[in-house]
Amino acid sequence: MSLRNCLIIITIMLALQMAMAGPNDVVFIVNTENTTEKLTVAEIRDYYFKRKRRWGNGESIRFIDRTTGPLREAFLKKYINKSTSDVELFWIGQKLYSGDSAPLKEASDATTMSFVSSLKGAIGYVSEATILRKNIKVIKVESEEE
């Protein structure tokens, strides 16, 4: 195999690796007016499932979820520990029995950032590679062991 072919293969492999890893790295974002600096995985679950509905300052929590895709799959697997179908069934049950609706779903990092930047109580997630807009900050998420 020639050096040129080896370089082409290596370049393709690196590009594939970056494409596969990038969208799966979830970063949680909030409005810069939110005083929260860190959350636990348990708190993320509580906010997502609406077991906790207010931030420490009393502001209503508005969780912004994502539509189907690799980023949402990574979020559900790592933070919610449920499959897409389990989550959808949960929210159908909530709507029927308590009237609670699933979090608003957005299709892109850009629309998620738009909601978070305009709503003080919003929390959402974007891919790690996203360039953040003004009025948005990243929230550190501590593992359950910390």
Task: Write the pLDDT tens digit of every residue in 50-72.
Answer: 999 999 889 999 999 999 899 99
Domain count for the chain, please give it: 1
Average pLDDT for 99-111: 94
- What pLDDT sits at residue 120? 93
**What CATH number does residue 108 fall under?**
3.40.190.10
Tell me, what amino acid is at 44?
A: I
Query: Is 60 exceeded by the pLDDT of residue 13?
Result: no
pLDDT of 25 above 90: no
Q: Is residue 9 part of a domain?
A: no
In a domain, 1, yes or no: no
* Residue 117 covered by a domain: yes
**79: in domain:** yes
Mean pLDDT of 14-34: 70
Residue 85 resides in a domain = yes
CA distances from 32 to 81, 110, 134 (A): 28, 16, 8
What's the pLDDT at 20? Answer: 46
**Residue 49's pLDDT band (cuts 50, 70, 90):** very high
Q: Does any domain span residue 19?
A: no
Residue 126: CB partners within 8 Å, gap ≥ 6?
26, 27, 29, 71, 109, 112, 113, 132
pLDDT score of 96: 93
* 53: containing domain: 24-142
> Is 37 a member of any domain?
yes
Give the tens place of pLDDT for each residue, 71-101. Answer: 999 999 999 999 999 999 999 999 999 999 9
pLDDT computed for residue 83 by the predictor: 94
Q: Is 17 within a domain?
A: no
